[in-house]
Structure 1
């Protein structure tokens, strides 16, 4: 039986601390990669391993965190680093009877298939050297991990595989995925023996994080930082006292962590302090774990339920609600906008949707405007949230505010790119795509909101390759989206794609809110056909507007919109009307036509 598996059955297993930061402190260097030191300064790397072992670590990690081709470019260079690092670690561990983890950091900047191939390349190098124990650490998601683990298990007789995710103190990775979800999903798939967290958070933040999670039955690996970093003169320092760190780490072990160690800023002194505290604590003195949220629910102590979304309730009841999109104003004067919104509410609009800076041009913030409409008019709203302009922190802060304001629905889209001519002045932020943001919001819902948001997405019925669009839509449903607002139907092809979407997405439980935009002139039709991405207007419709004045064109818009609504009705769960040029009177007539 693998020795690490035997050891963790006997009690918490202590691993070494942060090689990179300790190396940098010894060399008086900025915090940068130290993997080449296994080749260039082997005596120093061996000495660091030995210090950690003398401090009490029973497992050390190879000096290979960033040993991958995206970082070091050349295949042979990576192979040399892995070989040298492995040999140094094995030789250092042998006199102490210790074990070695093949340490593999995240492979970033590659698409999933390429990342999986890179992990396999790294794993093959370690396997050729006799590695049996692997640690995949500091990950933001699980891309490529299962593939790498399955490959190791196909080649090694009895390996020990651990994976660790870097989470902020609120429990989310930089990819916006909730750490508890990552741990549970990876554990459920059965390829890893231990799963847990490392880096970013200090020992106390990590302990509080674990208190809020329900991870019963998981073999946990926990390796915090030595507190928060301080940058002085381009160098990074961690000031956490070793005794403080050791006590906190021992408490984490007492709460059930099977593998413990240190990450950035931890030194042999921190590991020695942890070893001393572990020897003081018996497992009988383990602190009582905090109750999970599910236990609080069972005890009836959870907060009173707050109102649900009337729009979503109508969707669920099959009542075909009507949502209307009204673009936010370009100035701070909202009087005209509020008048138009009130007109739509009076006409029977169930939900007002508000775009988020359409075509990447600044307008009034969709979320603030949504709150204003809800407060002043009592009208339910759904703001669009683009992935373009907010990072993880800004997104979470915004969602907390929206929840407090009583909003229950959001429409998540990637967002139009910044026009080329403005990119030197206006910078895009794309920490998320729409699937990652949906998963982030879903994860937040269990911890941060009295009622989780209903997350909707966009579905382009006019996509050139609609099979790909549907595949992505299914991935969005898996990420937590409950339904889709579609691009407008203005052609037979779009209607056929809508039928296909119904067949594909209805079994997955996703609602479809069918898009309708009234064409108000031939010029408008030509503009949408030629210049608006995601909209296709048939030539038949374009020809019908030839020579019409405004009144006649609006009459035709009403006729066509009502007809399209009736054609799509068997394949949708609600209507999504898009207001052209602020013409809310026309939209009120269309709502009446659909309702009639």
Structure 2
């Protein structure tokens, strides 16, 4: 049964990986059982056969407004949006346009486009669909990433989903840099030394001195991020990795 209730002022989104239809349905049921979640995000991961909009068609059985991730570099700017019919058929009303990582399979066709071009393309070809954009606080300087985020908003995005944060002080800085933007502040579970090393070395993420790669630390930060989102009238975006949705978020969203 689809949850058709209107979203609260501060929305909570949970990202779920579409490994298979059965696995996705099980995780969707787990997210619904948490309570307090308004929507789910489905990333577009080429190693799985289910594309993000197909996963969102499944998610529509559980949530009214699931959000598929759209990889900009997969889209030919000279042709109509290839997923438009599927998005409309599934009744999807929101998308998140990201740049997209180069594919491991060199046979997968990509195009030299940016998120800006594809945001504009969605606004032209699917004006009834709400477009979100991404923000990565680690890939370049504060000023450059802020300017890029503002350009995405000017191109037609209504707001931003961020890469994970690990420090409330960083949330405060970015909130001041983008005071008028709708933002889903991201958090994820980093519960091993290898995962910590990945985030530090691959993604250049910034961790506070007191960070611990434990489930307890990550659950406490999830509470802090959610409190920040509610206090600032913004939104929260949780990405469980290598832990179950229940172990990461059970009790966190309802204040237990």
- Which bin holds the TM-score, normalised by the shorter protein? 0.7 to 0.9
Distance 2:51 2:108 in 1: 17
Give the secondary-structure state (helix, strand or coil) at the position aligned to 1:537: coil
- The 8 Å contact of residues 38 and 63 in structure 2, kept in 1 or not, is answered as no
Distance 1:427 1:402 in 2: 22
Q: Structure 1 CA distance, aligned partners of 2:95 and 2:246?
A: 26
1:346 aligns with 2:33: yes
- Alpha-carbon separation, structure 2, partners of 1:432 and 1:474: 18
Provide the secondary structure at the position in 1 that maps to 2:210. Answer: helix
Q: TM-score, normalised on structure 2? A: 0.86
1:232-251 matched pairs, under 5 angstroms: none
Distance between the aligned counterparts of 1:471 and 1:415, measured in 2? 19
2:244 matched residue in structure 1 = 583
Q: Does 1:367 align with 2:57?
A: no
The residue number in structure 2 matching 1:487 is: 163
Partner of residue 565 from structure 1, selected from 226, 229, 235:
226
1:8-44 CA-to-partner distances (Å, cap 9, x unmatched) read xxxxxxxxxxxxxxxxxxxxxxxxxxxxxxxxxxxxx
Query: Within 2, Cα distance between the matches of 1:471 and 1:413?
Result: 16
* Aligned with 2:22 (options 323, 335, 345): 335
Counterpart Cα distance in 1 of 2:183 and 2:153: 12
Measure the CA separation in 2 of the matches of 1:534 and 1:354.
24
Distance in 1 separating the partners of 2:201 and 2:49: 24
| The structure with more helix, counted as a fraction of residues | 1
Deviation at 1:492, TM superposition (A): 5.5
Counterpart of 2:18 in 1: which secondary structure?
coil
CA contact (8 A) 2:240 2:248 kept: yes
- Which of the numbers 524, 530, 540 marks the counterpart of 2:210? 540
Deviation at 1:394, TM superposition (A): 6.3
User: Do the aligned partners of 1:383 and 1:411 also contact (CA within 8 Å) in 2?
Assistant: yes
Cα separation, 2, equivalents of 1:493 and 1:527: 22
- Secondary structure of the residue aligned to 1:520 is coil
1:503-522 alignment runs, 5 A limit? 503=179, 506=180, 510-522=181-193
Cα distance in 1 for partners of 2:154, 2:84 equals 21
Q: 1:443 aligns with which of 124, 127, 134?
A: 124
The gaps in structure 1 that reach 5 residues or longer are: 1-308, 447-451, 546-552
Q: 2:200 aligns with which of 522, 526, 529?
A: 529
CA contact (8 A) 2:16 2:41 kept: yes
Q: 1: CA distance between counterparts of 2:25 and 2:125?
A: 31
1:407 is matched with which residue?
92
Aligned residue runs from structure 1 range 31-180, under 5 A: none
Q: CA deviation at 1:493?
A: 5.7
Asked whether 1:595 is paired with 2:251, we answer no
Alignment check: 8 A CA contact 2:13 2:237 kept: yes
1:516 match: secondary structure: strand
Q: Which structure exhibits the higher relative contact order, with contacts defined as CA atoms closer than 8 Å and separated by 6 or more residues?
A: 2
User: Aligned partners of 1:346 and 1:395: how far apart in 2?
Assistant: 38
Distance in 2 of aligned mates of 1:394 and 1:581: 38
User: Shift of residue 439 of structure 1?
Assistant: 0.9
Q: Distance in 2 between matches of 1:534 and 1:428?
A: 28
Aligned partner of residue 70 in structure 2, secondary structure: strand
Q: Mind listing any 5+ residue stretches in structure 2 that lack a counterpart?
A: none
TM-score w.r.t. length of structure 1 = 0.39
Structure 1 residues 462 and 431 mapped into 2: Cα distance closer, same or farther (>3 Å)? closer
Any idea what SS the aligned residue of 1:352 has? strand
Structure 2: how far apart are the matches of 1:455 and 1:470?
18
Residue-pair matches, total: 252
> Which position in structure 2 is the counterpart of 1:73?
none
Counterpart of 1:412 in 2: which secondary structure?
strand
Q: CA contact under 8 A between 1:456 and 1:481: conserved in structure 2?
A: yes
Q: Over alpha carbons, which structure has the higher Rg?
A: 1
**Structure 1 residue ranges (4+ consecutive) displaced by more than 3 angstroms after TM superposition:** 360-363, 392-395, 567-572
Q: Name the SS for the 2:186 alignment partner.
A: strand
Aligned to 1:384: 69
**Deviations along 1:398-457, whole A, 9 cap, x unmatched?**
1232123210000001101234xx53xx244125311111111111235xxxxx111000
Q: Distance in 2 between matches of 1:485 and 1:347?
A: 21
Per-residue CA deviations over 1:103-138 (Å, capped at 9, x if unaligned) read: xxxxxxxxxxxxxxxxxxxxxxxxxxxxxxxxxxxx
